[in-house]
Structure 1
Amino acid sequence: MSEVQAERQAVMQAVSTLQQLERLIRSQHGEVRNLSSEVRRVAGSTSTKADDRMVNALQASSVSLDALQQRIAAAMRQAEDIARRL
């Protein structure tokens, strides 16, 4: 295997790892959204400050997961571009 082929294979392995991370993040993001909805549903109109803090924390987690997912997608596109150029 030539050095270029080895580099391309390494980049494609990185893409595969990023895809796995993206699936994991997507799954976790869904869980956070479901949990946030469940907390809101259970708390209803009688929500406490603790309930509100929990919902706010879950919303912040959701925003962080969104940002992470976007960064992973960008890294994946860059790695795929590098692999194509090799």
Structure 2
Amino acid sequence: MTLSIRQIGPCFAGEVSGIDLAKPLSFEDAAAIHEGMDEHAVLVFHGQDLSDEQQLAFSRKLGDLEEAVGTSLRGKDEYRLPTTFADV
């Protein structure tokens, strides 16, 4: 598959196709996604059924992750997700 990004809408947003985010992300695909984010601001990936671990692996390929602390009304022991996800 070859990754491609096409503009959707008149102002911003791009639709990404030709990639399976459940598989390890290549350097080239990560670079193309970064370029797409720079150009379109928002990218849409249809039909991606990712586990939490796969979502984290994909996200880590795009840069350092921030911990989502102090962003919820939940107590520390009430989080249903690790702090690498925003639990809203």
Same fold at TM > 0.5? no
Q: Which has the higher contact order (CA 8 A, sep 6+)?
A: 1
Q: More strand per residue: 1 or 2?
A: 2
